Chains A and B, each alone.
Chain A
Amino acid sequence: MPHHSRMINSKDRSKILIVDDEKEMVGYLSEYFVSRGYRVYAAVDGSEALRKVETLNPDVVLLDLLMPGIHGMEVLTRIKSSHPRTAVVIMTALINETVAEEALEAGADAYIAKPFNLEKIETLIRSVIDRYR
């Protein structure tokens, strides 16, 4: 077996920022994406998300729409105006086409309703990241 450290090539891996006020959801998604080779970061509200987008410049933000404080839609708009090449995928428990369309019009790259299948979300994340490569 080669030395462990050589197997990790952090520069090649995509950075994902998970934004959700539900800590369980953040943990769940973090574990999954770490196991899929991503560099995983998390934020529990909109202002933390905006700060982390600045410092980390992630490839993709997985953003919950309904959070206390700054609304997800506003976080989306701000990310897209400051970092147009950062992909944003909206997630929400609200199954509402109007909200989905609104998010897409505001610049979201994709939209996914909770509860979701982890493999599907990974495929989706991969495809939106590839759009900006």
Chain B
Amino acid sequence: MSEKVRKVLVVDDEEDFCSLTKQAIKAMTNFKVMTATDGRKAVSLAKKENPDVILLDIMMPGMSGSVVAEELLENPRTASIPIIFVTAIVKDSEIKDSDGMLGNRMFIAKPINVNNLLEKMHMVLGLPHVPKETSDEDGWFLT
């Protein structure tokens, strides 16, 4: 059975974070990963490529992640793309306590545990996720 290849868009102003995250996702899934290092590029890539999920950093110079999210929501073509917001200030414990949802939006805290990220992505995409052998403690982290 041929399966549809899922597309992920990673948005962060730090190029290293984008490329590491891309490597991590590609190493553990068959998702197609695209990256954008600023908000403007993120919006145009989302419109063009229609990704299945977006990992979005809020704290970016210029067009912030919050504005990217609002623009995507205002456009009918991109309004239903699920967004996972990346935060450096909201505590991981608070996110866990609320099942990842804060203010009706999905959050993940930096440093990002790769397993946790993949679990969230699979959930959003409605795919089953079989975690690899790494645990929360010794997992692969993206900062």
Contacts and interface: CB of A to CB of B under 8 A. Distances in A.
Interface of A: 1, 3-5, 7-10, 13, 23, 26-28, 30-42
20 contacts: A5-B82, A7-B101, A8-B73, A8-B104, A10-B73, A27-B59, A28-B89, A31-B58, A31-B85, A31-B87, A31-B90, A33-B66, A34-B66, A34-B69, A35-B103, A37-B102, A39-B66, A40-B67, A40-B70, A42-B64
Nearest to B56: A34
Contacts of B65: 30, 34
Best-buried of B73, B74, B104, B124 by chain A (most CB within 10 Å): B104
Given A28-B89, A31-B90, 12 more contacts: A3-B80, A4-B82, A5-B79, A13-B104, A26-B64, A34-B58, A35-B87, A35-B107, A36-B103, A37-B102, A41-B66, A42-B66
Nearest to B123: A1
Interface string B93-125: 000000001111111000000000000000110
B140 to A, nearest CB: 23
Interface residues of B, number: 31
A34 B104 contact: no
A41 B69 CA distance: 10
B28 interface: no
B89 A8 contact: no
Contacts of A32: 89-90
